[in-house]
Chain A
């Protein structure tokens, strides 16, 4: 019911930006084009029927088969206790998108984390550098092309552990 209203509000102004609308476990998930993502979130922030004024999380997802990196936003309306998820897809070779910091200051560290682990560059971010990993790291470790195990470890072999 309320989810339909959110879709209506979005379609009023940004009909052409919607790629896909899904509901996973009652969680409305919108896939949108990347160009106007900041305007859309700004619009949903201020519209009286949506008021998504709390950014729960912002993260990346690597889809190696599609050669794409998605940026996923989860928003929360604290009045009606309603949540939505918004995804935008970027090419994995050059993942660049606009920063959400003008709308949510809390996006600052989340975007730094997404840069740290997926290499997504957020244009206009005030201080885009690694936040959790060591500064000397040269890879983006949560991209699936990198092995999870530490490659410098020598003591693990099949003879000892039967893996």
Chain B
């Protein structure tokens, strides 16, 4: 029986999950297969309001190319999106709009907060700017930077991919998850 090598990964098209393997078959858990499929087909919804959005455009461009991670298909409808990428300053007046977009997304959904402004208000410590989107919606991964380079955004997406891959299929039904959403006043 072959053993799955941990340190030196051979270059393959998809990383196969751990499992019982023989010639022509691989037995593994459904959760791992679903995680692998989800991880490599994330549809992001770009919510770009300022300069971080410009960096995101570079990230989507041919040089950095987020398509390498299976995320080239942007969804401009929240109802079909898996990942909400908030890039830029969110004014307090924009807050309810962002929240509505989040509420319109179907489960499972993830949120990536790109840049200092989305994460904490950044330099805009003022009466009109929301001091971090985590005051109105839950955030999975924060990307620091003002603005972050495309490599950092890719790193953030890869961290999201890791979360997507390893998330339990029942997490969204759990009491803890519902309590977390209730803390934000959602549902």
> Do B93 and A150 touch across chains, with their CB atoms under 8 A apart?
no
A153 contact from B92, B93, B125, B128, Cβ within 8 A: B125
Known contacts being A153-B121, A153-B131, A155-B120, is A134 close to B126, with CB within 8 Å? no
Give B131's nearest chain A residue, CB to CB.
Answer: A153
- Does A156 sit at the interface, judged by CB under 8 A? yes
- Does A4 sit at the interface, judged by CB under 8 A? no
Chain B residues 83 to 124 lying within 8 A of chain A, measured CB to CB, are 92-93, 95, 120-121
Give bound CA distance, A132 to B120, whole Å: 22
> Do A146 and B125 touch across chains, with their CB atoms under 8 A apart?
no
Known contacts being A133-B93, A134-B92, is A156 close to B125, with CB within 8 Å? yes
Give bound CA distance, A137 to B92, whole Å: 10
> Which residues of A are found within 8 Å of B95, using beta-carbon distances?
134
B128 contact from A133, A155, A156, Cβ within 8 A: A133
Give bound CA distance, A133 to B120, whole Å: 20
> Which residues of A are found within 8 Å of B93, using beta-carbon distances?
132-134
- Does A141 sit at the interface, judged by CB under 8 A? yes
> Do A146 and B120 touch across chains, with their CB atoms under 8 A apart?
no
Classify the secondary structure of A's interface with B. Answer: loop
> Do B125 and A141 touch across chains, with their CB atoms under 8 A apart?
no
Classify the secondary structure of B's interface with A. Answer: loop
Give bound CA distance, A150 to B93, whole Å: 14
- Does B129 sit at the interface, judged by CB under 8 A? yes
Give A148's nearest chain B residue, CB to CB.
Answer: B126
> Do B126 and A150 touch across chains, with their CB atoms under 8 A apart?
yes
Give bound CA distance, A39 to B76, whole Å: 52
> Do B127 and A148 touch across chains, with their CB atoms under 8 A apart?
yes
> Which residues of A are found within 8 Å of B125, using beta-carbon distances?
149-150, 153, 156
The proximity string for A residues 122-163 relative to B, scoring 1 for CB distances below 8 Å and 0 otherwise, is 000000000011100101010000101110110110000000
B121 contact from A133, A139, A150, Cβ within 8 A: A150
Give B130's nearest chain A residue, CB to CB.
Answer: A150
Give bound CA distance, A54 to B103, whole Å: 45
Give B127's nearest chain A residue, CB to CB.
Answer: A141
Give A109 Cβ to nearest chain B Cβ, in Å. Answer: 16
Give bound CA distance, A148 to B126, whole Å: 6
Give A34 Cβ to nearest chain B Cβ, in Å. Answer: 28
Known contacts being A134-B92, A134-B93, A155-B120, is A149 close to B128, with CB within 8 Å? no
Measured CB to CB, the residues of B under 8 A from A are 92-93, 95, 120-121, 125-129, 131
Measured CB to CB, the residues of A under 8 A from B are 132-134, 137, 139, 141, 146, 148-150, 152-153, 155-156
* A-B pairs with lowest CB-CB distance, top 4: A141-B127, A153-B131, A149-B125, A134-B92
Using A134-B95, A150-B121 as known contacts, list a sample of 12 further A-B pairs with CB atoms less than 8 Å apart, ordered by residue number in A: A132-B128, A133-B128, A134-B93, A137-B127, A139-B127, A141-B127, A141-B128, A150-B131, A152-B131, A153-B125, A153-B131, A155-B120
A-B contacts, 22 listed (Cβ < 8 Å): A132-B128, A133-B92, A133-B93, A133-B127, A133-B128, A134-B92, A134-B93, A134-B95, A137-B127, A139-B127, A141-B128, A146-B127, A148-B126, A148-B127, A149-B126, A149-B127, A150-B131, A152-B131, A153-B121, A153-B125, A153-B131, A156-B125
